[in-house]
């Protein structure tokens, strides 16, 4: 609980040092279980660490609205990504508050809001696109060399968004959303012809498997991912087609098999407003859920895609495993624990939580 005071002391001791200290473990950052980007009541953007009870373990300023983050597997080091079109990613020492590195995409590239480390923490992969064409790119960064850009590979599609490391530690799975955007803003340019896919790449960038949905669902942008320990991939979608079409917003994929779409009953699907903002498996892996901030709803499904039920919560978006169930965050500062006994308020912060909670 006194993390903040220790934090201030640490700051006073280290002054404005950046990147000079050896990396401390996560215990030094108060053992956060989650990272979340947020906006504070003064309108400033921050990255916060949260412990399993929803209490804040650290808070770091961001220069612009954040989106998602990635935690280093061992060091108390987090990469905070700007929201699209992203021009920064900050490597933050979560123990001291120091800015260790500031990553900028190479000329003609922009960050797309998500990234992931290799299991040994030596490489960071970032979701990017060619600014001019929206062609998807995965940036590869050498962590030990101070996050030096070492290579880039094609993501296998247009406008990649989320990407994750598969449980084999040797494969990346990428949500290529299919949407081409204006180089200078977020305007969508190709909604009539968009063609999203789910792509599996080796860590050196070889495309090993690619999954597309039926052409009637090509306007369903595949954007966010959750991976179960056995390799089952859940993907959440955002519908760009005709209003009130109520398409399924969740898919499940196991490598080598066709994708399985998980639909809710029509009235529930309509209430989601064609939009899933985050996806997560529950703590046991027996269920998977998606959130819709537009509908103010969370939908749960079993691992075979059968709808289990809905939970209502205004502006809910961030979602992660928590205990046997889930942790959901929202723009009103709520952290809702959803377990087998139903939803319960875990904590309430004077923050507007941004789209995602990242589990460390």
The distance of closest approach from Cβ of residue 168 to another protein in the complex, given in angstroms and rounded to an integer, is 28
Residue 203: exposure state from Cβ atoms within 10 A (0-12, 13-18, ≥19): middle
Is 171 or 278 the residue whose CB approaches another protein more closely? 278
Q: Which of 25, 30, 38 is nearest to 1 (CA)?
A: 30
Is 232 or 234 the residue whose CB approaches another protein more closely? 234
The distance of closest approach from Cβ of residue 57 to another protein in the complex, given in angstroms and rounded to an integer, is 12
CA-CA distances (angstroms) from residue 188 to 83, 127, 159, 177, 191? Answer: 15, 18, 10, 11, 7
Is 251 or 334 the residue whose CB approaches another protein more closely? 334
Are β-strands 260-262 and 278-281 bridged in parallel, bridged antiparallel, or unpaired? unpaired
The distance of closest approach from Cβ of residue 135 to another protein in the complex, given in angstroms and rounded to an integer, is 19
The distance of closest approach from Cβ of residue 11 to another protein in the complex, given in angstroms and rounded to an integer, is 5
d(CA 213, CA 116): 25
The distance of closest approach from Cβ of residue 36 to another protein in the complex, given in angstroms and rounded to an integer, is 12
The distance of closest approach from Cβ of residue 63 to another protein in the complex, given in angstroms and rounded to an integer, is 8
**SS3 for the chain, per residue?**
CCHHHHHHHHHHHHCCCCCCCCCCEHHHHCCCCEEEEEECCCCCEEEEEECCCCCEEEEEEECCCEEEEEECCCECEEEEEECCCECCEEEEECCCCCEEEEECCCCCEEEEEEEEECCCCCEEEEEEEECCCCEEEEEEEECCCCCEEEEEEEEEEECEEEEEECCCCCEEEEEECCCCECCCCCCECCCCCCCCEEEEEECCCCEEEEECCCHHHCCEEEEEEEECCCCCEEEEEEECCCCCCCCCCEEEECCCCCCEEECCCHHHHHHCCCECCEEEECCCCCEEEEEECCCCEEEEEECCCCEEEEEECCCEEEEEEECCEEEEEECCCEEEEEECCEEEEEEECCCEEEEEEEEC
Is 1 or 144 the residue whose CB approaches another protein more closely? 1
Is 281 or 353 the residue whose CB approaches another protein more closely? 353
The distance of closest approach from Cβ of residue 169 to another protein in the complex, given in angstroms and rounded to an integer, is 28
The distance of closest approach from Cβ of residue 40 to another protein in the complex, given in angstroms and rounded to an integer, is 6
Is 140 or 217 the residue whose CB approaches another protein more closely? 217
Is 32 or 293 the residue whose CB approaches another protein more closely? 293
Is 251 or 331 the residue whose CB approaches another protein more closely? 331
The distance of closest approach from Cβ of residue 84 to another protein in the complex, given in angstroms and rounded to an integer, is 6
Is 106 or 344 the residue whose CB approaches another protein more closely? 344
């Amino acid at each position: 609980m006194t993390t903040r005071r220790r934090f201030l002391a640490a700051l006073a001791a280290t002054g404005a040092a950046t990147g000079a200290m050896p990396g401390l473990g996560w215990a030094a950052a108060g053992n956060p279980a989650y990272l979340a980007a947020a906006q504070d009541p003064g309108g400033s953007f921050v990255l916060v660490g949260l412990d399993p009870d929803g209490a804040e373990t650290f808070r770091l300023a961001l220069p612009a609205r954040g989106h998602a983050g990635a935690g280093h597997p061992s060091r108390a080091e987090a990469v905070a990504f700007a929201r699209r079109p992203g021009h920064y990613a900050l490597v933050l020492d979560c123990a001291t508050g120091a800015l260790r590195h500031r990553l900028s995409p190479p000329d003609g590239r922009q960050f797309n809001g998500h990234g992931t480390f290799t299991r040994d923490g030596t490489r960071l992969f970032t979701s990017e696109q060619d600014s001019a064409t929206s062609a998807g790119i995965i940036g590869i960064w050498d962590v030990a060399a101070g996050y030096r850009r070492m290579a880039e590979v094609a993501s296998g599609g247009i406008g990649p968004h989320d990407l994750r490391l598969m449980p084999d530690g040797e494969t990346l799975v990428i949500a290529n959303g299919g949407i081409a955007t204006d180089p200078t803003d977020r305007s969508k340019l190709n909604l009539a012809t968009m063609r999203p896919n789910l792509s599996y790449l080796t860590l050196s960038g070889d495309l090993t498997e690619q999954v597309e949905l039926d052409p009637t669902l090509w306007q369903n942008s595949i954007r966010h991912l959750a991976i179960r320990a056995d390799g089952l991939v859940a993907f959440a979608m955002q519908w760009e087609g005709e209003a009130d079409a109520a398409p399924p917003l969740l898919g499940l994929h196991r490598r080598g098999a066709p994708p399985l779409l998980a639909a809710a009953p029509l009235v529930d699907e309509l209430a989601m407003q064609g939009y899933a903002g985050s996806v997560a498996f529950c703590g046991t892996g027996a269920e998977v859920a998606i959130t819709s901030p537009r509908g103010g709803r969370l939908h749960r499904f079993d691992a075979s895609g059968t709808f289990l039920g809905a939970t209502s919560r205004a502006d809910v978006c961030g979602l992660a495993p928590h205990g046997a169930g889930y942790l959901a965050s929202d723009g009103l500062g709520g952290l809702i624990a959803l377990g087998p006994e139903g939803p319960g308020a875990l904590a309430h912060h004077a923050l507007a939580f941004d789209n995602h909670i990242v589990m460390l």
